[in-house]
Amino acid sequence: MQCYKVSANNCVGLPDRLVTLPNGRCCWVELKTDHGKLSLVQQLRHKELRKAGQDVRVVWNKDEADRFVEEVGNILGSDEEESSLNPDA
């Protein structure tokens, strides 16, 4: 798994981070504060990404960030378990 900071000067509104996961999966993550809000262009870009089949998350606070990290850990753990059961994976 890798987590990249996205800096797309030619495409505003993209989420802040791109988390790459095993088996070609990825998740776009927008980081906000409790009192933050999504701009209109962010809402539109998230909609475009979701329409293209991408997983887009908005994380509003530390509790949500912790839950997201736990979810990713569960995905990574299940992939490791699956690959140990299948030596060709």
| Domain spans in the chain, listed from the N-terminal domain onward | 2-85
- The dihedrals phi and psi of 6, each to the nearest 5 degrees, come to -95, 125
pLDDT digits (tens, 9 = 90+) for 32-54: 998 999 999 999 999 999 999 99
pLDDT at 84: 41
Closest CA to 25 of 79, 65, 83, 84: 79
User: For 8-37, what is each residue's pLDDT tens digit?
Assistant: 788 899 999 999 988 888 999 999 998 999
**Taking the domain 2-85, which CATH number applies?**
3.40.1350.10
Residue 86 has pLDDT above 60, yes or no: no
Reported pTM: 0.79
